[in-house]
């Protein structure tokens, strides 16, 4: 008993000393602000965080650079032609820019079939064009030349159709009259839809990536403090709700800063591509995404902190975080796969709305009040999550000796 009393007295003295030092250093500032600053400074000065962010920036810039290079890249192909196909090969050469301006065709005349096959084996030509009983054939050595095949089919079809029309005394236009099929979008156009789909995928991926990485690190830091018993000293110095608030706000600030860096790099890079005209239109949806990201991340960060407080060892985190991981997978695949009425409904259901509503905004046709309503519902959900999470966090954090269940944490007395 005397030993226990001595230990308790020592802990009390340590807590009092810590509290005094905290007050001296902060100059009376709130404890949650001190914790927030500690979280931000410790992560910004962490080499792995800096290098990870830099790597992602380089990856984004590299992908955009590769896309620009691919967009400007010209495909040069050499088409071999025997005497019976020189005229058609020349027509393909002349008509290629009208089909695909990134394809340039050079025609090489060959004496006969044997010469053509030898030229293919020696890589002197990329393909050999020759007539067959029912049309024309492109022969390559081992793999199809996709760009050349597309151009050849289009030019041959148009040329043969023109010859056949001339033989019956009509024109290609007359033969094709009424056969044109066009597409129309109720909102925007096909190119805009493709851009919206690609950017929507980026939004969903960035949210999932940030919530998973920062969430795991937040939960791990909670476990480390709990396992080392340092949280008991901290709890004697500041309220646990301040500790939770500082951790959540610090990680949220870091996640938002990192997200803004990624979005800025992406939008600036996009301005150098052929899709630069869409950059102004993407700025609004990007701002909405940041707002939804902020509300959704606060809720998930609080849940990650709870997952860490329920565990007593690092090995327990996989078990305590399983429901949260499943929720994030639902958000990820839901954000990517939902469409139609299901997408509209999900855009109002927190926390899935954090990734689904920004995608709807990208696609266009959303009424002005819809994002506001969805964001309001998400903010309410985040507030309720913080209230429930704060209670679970406080009551589970100081319990040691094994994994704490949600029921135990909720029922534990203050």
Q: Which domain holds residue 133?
A: 74-176
The answer to whether residue 22 is domain-embedded is no
Mean pLDDT of 41-69: 89
pLDDT the model gives residue 184: 57
Residues 221 and 148 occupy one common structural domain? no
Please give the average per-residue pLDDT across 139-157, as a whole number: 85
| CATH number of domain containing 103 | 3.40.190.10
Residue 7 belongs to some domain of the structure: no
Residue 19: pLDDT band (50, 70, 90) is: very low
Domain boundary residue among 176, 210, 228? Answer: 176
Whether residue 336 is contained in a domain is answered as yes
197 within domain boundaries:
yes
In the chain, the number of structural domains is: 2
pLDDT of residue 349: 96
Residues 60 and 120 in one domain: no
Q: Does some domain include residue 247?
A: yes
- Please tell me whether residues 97 and 121 are part of one structural domain: yes
Examine the domain organization and report whether 228 and 312 are in the same domain.
Answer: yes
- Range in 86-100, 244-258, 370-384 the model is least confident about: 86-100
Counting Cβ atoms within 10 Å, is residue 32 exposed (0-12), middle (13-18) or buried (19+)? Answer: buried
pTM of the model: 0.76
**121, 214: one domain:** no
Q: Is residue 165 part of a domain?
A: yes
Within a domain: residue 182?
Answer: no
Domain stop point among 149, 176, 203: 176
Q: What is the pLDDT of residue 219?
A: 92
Is the CB of residue 129 less than 8 Å from the CB of residue 80?
Answer: yes
Average pLDDT over residues 323-341: 93
Query: pLDDT at position 182, please?
Result: 66
How confident is the model at residue 413, as a pLDDT?
62
Q: Calculate the CA dihedral of residues 383, 387, 392, 395 and round it to 10 degrees.
A: 150
Closest CA to 152 of 216, 73, 81: 81
Average pLDDT on 111-140 reads: 89
- Same domain flag for 346 and 232: yes
181-186 average pLDDT score: 59
Q: Are residues 369 and 231 in the same domain?
A: yes
> Which pLDDT value is given to residue 20?
40
In a domain, 290, yes or no: yes
Does 315 share its domain with 397? Answer: yes
Task: Provide the percentage of residues in the chain whose pLDDT is more than 70.
Answer: 90
**DSSP conformation letters of 229-298:** THHHHHHHHS-HHHHHHHHHHHHHHHHHHHHHHHHHHHHHHHTTSTTGGGHHHHHHHHHHHHHHHHHHHH
325 with 391, same domain?
yes
Q: Which residues pair with 136 in a beta bridge?
A: 131
Q: Are residues 230 and 303 in the same domain?
A: yes
Looking at the structure, tell me whether residues 313 and 353 fall in a common domain: yes
Do 240 and 328 share a domain, yes or no?
yes
Residues with Cβ within 8 Å of residue 179, at least 6 apart in sequence = none
- Using the predicted structure, report yes or no on whether residue 186 has a pLDDT greater than 70: no
Mean pLDDT for the stretch of residues 51-73: 86
Report residue 131 as tokens.
Answer: 């007539």
Chain position carrying tokens 């949600």: 406
């Amino acid at each position: 008993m005397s030993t226990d009393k001595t230990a308790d007295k020592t802990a009390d003295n340590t807590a009092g000393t810590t509290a005094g030092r905290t007050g001296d250093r902060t100059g009376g500032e709130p404890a949650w602000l001190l914790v927030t600053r500690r979280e931000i400074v410790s992560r910004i000065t962490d080499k792995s965080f800096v290098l990870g962010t830099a790597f992602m920036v380089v990856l984004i810039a590299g992908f955009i650079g590769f896309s620009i290079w691919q967009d400007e890249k010209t495909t040069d192909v050499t088409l071999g032609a025997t005497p019976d196909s020189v005229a058609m090969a020349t027509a393909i050469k002349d008509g290629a820019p009208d089909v695909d301006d990134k394809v340039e065709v050079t025609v090489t005349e060959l004496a006969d079939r044997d010469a053509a096959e030898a030229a293919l084996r020696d890589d002197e030509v990329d393909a050999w064009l020759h007539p067959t009983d029912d049309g024309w054939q492109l022969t390559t050595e081992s793999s199809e030349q996709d760009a050349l095949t597309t151009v050849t089919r289009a030019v041959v079809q148009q040329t043969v159709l023109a010859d056949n029309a001339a033989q019956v005394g009509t024109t290609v236009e007359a033969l094709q009259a009424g056969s044109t099929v066009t597409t129309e979008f109720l909102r925007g156009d096909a190119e805009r839809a493709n851009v919206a789909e690609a950017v929507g995928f980026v939004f969903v991926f960035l949210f999932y990536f940030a919530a998973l990485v920062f969430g795991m690190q937040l939960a791990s830091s909670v476990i480390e403090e709990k396992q080392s018993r340092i949280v008991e000293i901290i709890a004697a110095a500041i309220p646990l709700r301040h500790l939770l608030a500082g951790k959540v706000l610090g990680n949220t600030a870091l996640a938002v800063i990192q997200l803004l860096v990624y979005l800025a790099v992406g939008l600036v890079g996009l301005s150098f591509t052929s899709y630069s005209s869409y950059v102004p239109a993407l700025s609004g949806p990007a701002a909405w995404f940041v707002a939804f990201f902020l509300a959704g991340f606060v809720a998930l960060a609080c849940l990650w902190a709870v997952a860490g407080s329920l565990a007593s060892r690092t090995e327990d985190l996989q078990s305590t975080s399983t429901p949260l991981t499943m929720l994030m997978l639902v958000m990820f695949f839901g954000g990517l796969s939902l469409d139609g009425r299901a997408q509209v409904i999900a855009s109002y259901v927190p926390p899935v709305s954090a990734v689904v509503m920004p995608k709807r905004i990208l696609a266009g046709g959303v009424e002005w009040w819809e994002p506001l309503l969805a964001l309001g519902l998400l903010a309410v959900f985040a507030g309720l999550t913080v209230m429930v999470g704060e209670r679970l966090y406080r009551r589970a954090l100081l319990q040691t000796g094994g994994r704490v269940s949600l029921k135990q944490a909720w029922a534990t007395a203050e």
